[in-house]
Amino acid sequence: MRTLVLNAGYEPLAIVSFRRALMLVMSQKATVLRADSEHPVEAITARFDRPSVIVLSRYVRVPYSRRVPLTRRGVLRRDGHHCAYCGKSANTIDHVIPKSRGGAESWENLVACCFKCNNIKSDRTPQEMGWRLRITPRMPAGPSWFAMGLEHRDTAWDDYLAPAA
């Protein structure tokens, strides 16, 4: 089980194991906002609900740039694992402007793509294929993109996360 860690300003900071979260709570570095009482942690002298969401007691400065790192996983997540051309389930990424034609490795030029569309498109542009992009590719925004591990969201976290961009 994983735990969402919120900074003192309630912005998503990270995803940690419930053990790490429990240690932060027990050392009074964090407070539990939501817990899972169905699967408690039992010790010899105590019983604890597993933390699902915690908030840190002190604000932690995060030394990240305002650019979201470009990764294959990030492109698939941004596009909801749906093909930008046909809308079916995507498991590859595609360069809108092919690399062979000078297309960049950027958020604006990469989209999630199903295997079939990726093979058919090959090294052509969507315009040459007569295809239209279903999304406008751009760098994602919002604090949830800077928290590590949010690719697999827990429904218990929904109240604490802004909608994924």
pTM (two decimals): 0.59
Predicted confidence (pLDDT) at residue 165 exceeds the cutoff of 60: no
Q: What is the pLDDT of residue 164?
A: 46
Q: Which residues contact 83 (CB under 8 A, 6 or more apart)?
A: 89, 90, 112, 113, 114, 117, 134
Q: What does CATH list as the number for 72-129? A: 1.10.30.50
Looking at residue 66, its pLDDT comes to 60
Q: What is the pLDDT of residue 18?
A: 86
pLDDT tens digit sequence for 36-54? 878 788 888 888 888 999 9
Across the strands, what pairs with 31?
A: 55
Beta bridge mates, 148: 14
Q: pLDDT averaged over the chain?
A: 86
User: Which residues belong to CATH 1.10.30.50 in the chain?
Assistant: 72-129
